[in-house]
Amino acid sequence: MEPAAESAALLPQPPKEACMAWIEAAKEGDVRELHLLLQQFRGLLNYQPPSGLRCSALHWAAARGHTDALQGLLLWGADPCVLTCTSSSPLHSAAASNRLDCVELLLLVPAVLQQLDWALSSSEEEDDHIPGSSSSSPRSRESEDAALPTAVEDSSSLLGDQLAAAETGQASQQQQQQQQQQGGAAVIDRQLGRSWLDAARAGDLRLLQALVAAHPQLLPYCGLGTSYALIGNSALHWCAAKGHVQCMEWLLQTGALQVSSLLNQADATALHTAAEHGQAVAAQLLVVRAAADVQQLDGLGQSAVQAAAGAGHQALAQQLLLWELAAQMAGTDRSSWPVSSMQKVLRLAGRASDAAACVERHELVAAAADVVHKTMQSRA
């Protein structure tokens, strides 16, 4: 018996009501309630429901993006390597739900790194070179229980399968098709790929420029063959999440514009990542410059607008709609602008009174054109 399991077995079984309250507090990220419950019932720490997917409090906190609760649970001694009935760890849950902050927090735990290293070494080939990837394979997220988070459903186990495939250099069917369209798979050294994504996370523009000058095939690289494959972010994803706008501008100019709709393991675009992390300038750049689709859905069925609103960035959610409409109108002749679009762009820009004051069409066109021009020229 493992030490953690043995110590848990010695503790008295908490009452059912306490177990339910414990899991609910983890879902809500209620650190205070978690602490109070744990003081009364130490056996709750690694509690897993006897039925369903058997998601622990760590799984829920990771899936919901509750970093404070996740950190608290880890500090209190929760097992970071606990597995659901589908063999998914809290790291899988965080990655599948695109919770980058939770992924980074979990990767600071030595036990998680050891678990990850074991998974990699168990499936690693002798060849230290892997095929480059230009996309993450889409996944189906069919839930048998609507009360459970999508992030820790069967998609988590699929993510683990994809990681194993990535580590053995087995690209998905979608990846293979895209590689064939690009004239064959580029060979990217594992350490080179890691350095590329490390530079993107850090916003190191000079290093990015130096690396892509020597290895242009790095642009669409998403971490295949490294621990970065858990999330599957491209350099553009990482720069968008961190708000490294200067790096993003260079990436788009260099050629990343062609892969600006690239999906990570959560089937999210760089725009989803920027929106969820409240990076308004990065999001505006992607919508206005790269024509990113604000309504495209990720693997959780969320658009970038919904991702921003769900993360508490309500103003950004409205700005996304404004940028999208302004970009569409900027690309068409003013004489063809529908009245409804002109009224909507004024309303989204907070100028609904201007729309109401317009009597003639040319007045409405002038007011809408002013908003479109300022929106396309300004920076959030």
What string of DSSP letters covers 229-287?
GGTT--HHHHHHHHT-HHHHHHHHHHTGGGGTT---TTS--HHHHHHHTT-HHHHHHHH
Please choose, from the candidates 348, 273, 325, 259, the residue with its C-alpha nearest in 3D space to the C-alpha of residue 304: 273
CA–CA separation, 276 and 12 (whole Å): 41
Which DSSP symbol is given to 130? E
Q: How far apart are CA 167 and CA 181, in angstroms?
A: 23
| DSSP string over 61-119 | HHHHT-HHHHHHHHHTT--TT---TT---HHHHHHHTT-HHHHHHHTTSHHHHHHHHHH
What pLDDT score was predicted for residue 245?
95
- Could you tell me the mean pLDDT of each successive run of 10 residues in the chain, 380 residues long? 45 87 92 93 91 88 91 91 86 84 87 69 42 33 33 36 40 39 57 92 94 89 80 91 94 74 84 93 91 86 89 91 88 88 87 82 88 78
**Two domains, one topology: 3-112 and 125-140+154-166+175-267:** yes
Residue 250 CA: distances (Å) to CA of 215, 244, 254? 16, 10, 6
Kindly report, residue by residue over 55-67, the tens digit of the pLDDT: 899 999 998 889 9
The answer, as to whether pTM is greater than 0.75, is no
The residue among 231, 247, 302, 232 whose CA lies nearest residue 279 is 247
Which pLDDT score, from 0 to 100, does residue 379 have? 64
So what's the architecture of 3-112 in CATH?
Alpha Horseshoe (1.25)
Measured CA to CA, the distance from residue 82 to residue 88 in angstroms comes to: 8
CA distances (Å), origin 199, targets 196, 220, 236, 247, 271? 5, 14, 11, 10, 19
In total, the chain counts a number of residues equal to 380
Instruction: Give the gyration radius of the chain's Cα atoms.
Output: 23
pLDDT value for 120:
52
Nearest to 159 by CA among 60, 56, 299: 299
Cα–Cα separations (whole angstroms), residue 141 to 52, 120, 185, 294: 16, 25, 28, 21
The CB density around residue 15, as the number of other CB atoms within 10 Å, is 11
User: Measuring CA to CA, how many Å separate 207 from each of 81, 181, 202, 204, 211?
Assistant: 34, 29, 10, 6, 6
Domain boundaries, given as residue ranges, for the chain: 3-112, 125-140+154-166+175-267, 295-380
The matching CATH number, chosen from 1.25.40, 1.20.1530, 3.40.190, 3.40.50, for 125-140+154-166+175-267 is 1.25.40
Q: What is the predicted pLDDT for the residue at 230?
A: 74
- The confidence score (pLDDT) of residue 197 equals 93
**Which residues share a beta bridge with 85?**
none
Per-residue model confidence (pLDDT) at position 10: 61
| Helices 314-330 and 361-377, packing angle to 10 deg | 110
Q: Cβ distance 197 to 221 under 8 Å?
A: yes
CA–CA separation, 40 and 274 (whole Å): 40
DSSP SS3 for 322: helix
pLDDT in tens, 16-54: 999 999 999 999 999 999 999 999 999 999 999 987 788
